[in-house]
Amino acid sequence: MKPAATPTAAPTDPLRIKIAGMDCGSCAMTIENSMRQLDGVADVSVSFTTETMELSGNVSEAAIESRLKELGYRIANAADAAPQVVVERHGLSGFVHFLWEQPPLRAALFVTAAMLLGISIIPALGIAAIAGVPALSILFGMGVIVAGLPVFIKGFRALIFARRITIDLLMAIACFGALGIGATGEAVTVILLFMLGEALEAYSAERARDSLRSLMALQPQEACVLEAHADSHGHDHKGHDHEGHDHEAHDHDNHDHDNEAHDHQVIKPVELVRVGDRVLVRPGQRVPVDGDIVKGISSINQAPVTGEDIPVLKEVGDAVMAGTVNGEAALEVRVTRPSSEGTIARIARLVEQAQSERSPAERFIDRFARYYTPAVVALAALVVAIGVFVLGGSLLDTGSERGWLYRGLTLLIIACPCALVISIPVTVVSGLTRLAQLGVLVKSGALLDRLADIRVVAFDKTGTLTHGKPVVTSMHTNQCEHPADNFNECDPCESVIGQAAAVERASEHPVAHAIVSAAGNNGKHVSMAADVEAHPGKGVSGKADCGHKVAVGSRKLFSETQAGLGEVDAFARTAEDDGETVMYVSHDDKVVGYIGVQDEIREDSVRALQELDAMEPEVRTVMLTGDNRRSAERVAGRIVGLDEVRAELLPDEKLAAIKELGADGSAVAMVGDGINDAPALARADIGIAMGGGGTAQAMETADVVLMQDDLSHVPMAIRMGRDARAVIKQNIALSLALKLAFLFLAIPGIATLWMAVIADVGATLLVTLNGMRLLRKS
């Protein structure tokens, strides 16, 4: 199959390659070291958790593939790189099946069986020695060679092509050293235990990777495309897709006349479905591609993508996302994005990119490991030399104590930093993937770690703490005599709101939507104003179809001496006191009225603020809004736990507020809609956008995207960041503690070779399983 990579990498075009065969964190470091030695390579980064390599420079694919083969790895082919249904690895049967699929472990199991058989048969046959060598020692030596050959070859390849000492090389030296000093039984025990440990590590790594694969497995691989055909029959027939492949095709509708267009169903791979195609989604099926409903009404379960557990009713005109599950009725969907750019694909790419980017802690551990292993190897040699030449001890074992060579071999096994290297990435991957499953996208491991530092969270008001769908609740003009909330049958109000809607029609602000919606009630047409000009943080102006200049905005848009302002201001102030957002309207530079809108507070806003208020260490919460102070304070008064309100802020004042909130060194997170708050989101340490179910703009601009628009996910993300940091610290402490403990046990000769292997493998498994605990967090 064709490798999943492009032929060459230009210096400005990093090459991203999937690699097959990595089973530990040390593998990634070995590949990195070796690739750096290729001519033309400028930079390279290998992620063990995502099995990817990103390489910059001018180097051919053939050279890369050749070097990988020399190291014992390969470029993943198209089948490896494509999203597949995740293999079930849970339960005892899945665990046993996975282990049996590992060829090195199968060989080790056969060797174990042969050893047990030999131990039983050889003494019974009376065979004590062969050519002066104990028969069992020969048997054990053969077992070491047969079981350990793949490990030994891999270790020597890493030394030759990557100039790196790996655990495989250390195991080779330890096993051959043990054979040389006559500890054949321990040598075969060590290699068999090591092979079992390697298989267990591979199992743990695959379980962690499965969490990412499960995201891609959500998208169906085929779609039922509706194609119009003009024919003279209404029965089933064979259709052909654009590639010429045959597929079953069935009439979608009943037809009473010949020679009219029929909708035929053609099953196609999602990669061949084009924008504009119509797709049939039957009840209970997953939506195969992103699109808009053009026929039908049904409930859509969005939990697989956004984490939202309550199905959402969707009808004609509504958007649906790939990977969501259709409910009770068939839907006809018009495709709006190719499968490669759909919601699921974008989420998976972002998560994989986040997992492959190393956090500062990971980079530190990688640098530490580069020096740790050579240092411990040197220490092992020094221990042997001092023990023999300075202390006068025996090089080989004596009847009463371990020889110094044996102790040095034990130290070699302890020199492997596998547990230390894998302790951080497996934790970061688990945290990022779990958040993605719950509907929160965090764009890198560094940002996940930064979430743990957050001490201030700033919220925008409209569309964030509130639903962002305000409605017009009051209105008054200088010609009105009715109460402000009884404006529906007032001709002057109708005229003013129509003119306001004309200039607001092009705006994406929720208040503008409310005005346009109110003006369009009862089927009234809202025309578009000409020469529309936005006044950031203040309002908008333009020329209505009557040819007159119309301006709509907050009090800041108008001067204190503006004509007509005094007649309207008293009514507007009353509306503000009631918590409404007030927009003044002027006609030819004369204020003619105001429009009051009000928004409902999200239920999850209250829950989120309460959870943040209860956190330890304490998290301070602030509302930043361009709305008037009375309206902002009225909203704040209905939310328990909000510490501070800053109102009537222009965009540059929001930026200044973010800077001021972090002036004491506190890490600040800003939560907004990802559109109107883009500057503040960019300035904050962590920008958190309300994703609206996965809008492309929110995904691109923010550090964190809330796919479900649920603010209670903000404290959840901060908790995950803190939990991840705590687990990383636990893993590092555990790895180093076990290494130090066995270091002090090996030097006096207390620790044995097989104990050192168990400690090394055990530490790696413990930190992996500890990191994977985050996959169960909620």
| 289 touches 339 (CB < 8 A) | yes
Torsion 261-267-269-270 (CA) sign = positive
- Quickly list H helices, 415-507: 418-423, 425-437, 445-451, 491-504
C-alpha–C-alpha distance, residues 544 and 482, integer Å: 26
Question: Whose CA is closest to 166, among 375, 32, 26, 48?
Answer: 26
Question: Whose CA is closest to 251, among 238, 265, 241?
Answer: 265
Kindly list the distances between the CA atom of residue 465 and the CA atoms of 51, 345, 481, 657, in Å, as whole numbers in the listed order: 40, 29, 35, 18
| 686 touches 704 (CB < 8 A) | yes
C-alpha–C-alpha distance, residues 659 and 647, integer Å: 16
Beta bridge partners of 335: 291
SS3 333: strand
Strand ranges in 144-269 using DSSP code E only, listed in sequence order: 222-231, 237-240, 246-249, 260-269
Respond yes or no on whether the N-terminal peptide bond of residue 617 is cis (omega within 30° of 0).
yes
| 273 burial level (CB within 10 Å; 0-12, 13-18, 19+) | buried
Between β-strands 667-672 and 686-690, what pairing exists: parallel, antiparallel or unpaired? parallel
Secondary structure letter of residue 522 according to DSSP? G
| 164 touches 25 (CB < 8 A) | no
Q: Is 460 annotated as catalytic?
A: yes
Structure tokens at 10: 């230009």
Number of helical (H) and strand (E) elements in the chain, helices listed first: 25, 32
| 235 touches 251 (CB < 8 A) | yes
Of 23, 449, 453, 460, which is the active-site residue?
A: 460
| 355 touches 774 (CB < 8 A) | no
Q: Which helix (H) or strand (E) holds 656?
A: helix 651-661
Between β-strands 530-535 and 704-706, what pairing exists: parallel, antiparallel or unpaired? unpaired
Q: Classify each residue of 438-475 as buried b or exposed e, where b means 16 or more C-beta atoms within 10 Å of its C-beta.
A: bbbbbbbbbbbbbbbbbbbbbbbbbbbbbbbebebbbb
Structure tokens at 135: 């028969």
SS3 708: coil
Q: Which helix (H) or strand (E) holds 361?
A: helix 360-385
Question: Whose CA is closest to 631, among 670, 677, 673, 575?
Answer: 575
Q: Which helix (H) or strand (E) holds 74?
A: strand 74-75
Structure tokens at 709: 């628009």
Q: Which helix (H) or strand (E) holds 293?
A: strand 291-295
Which residues form the catalytic set?
A: 460
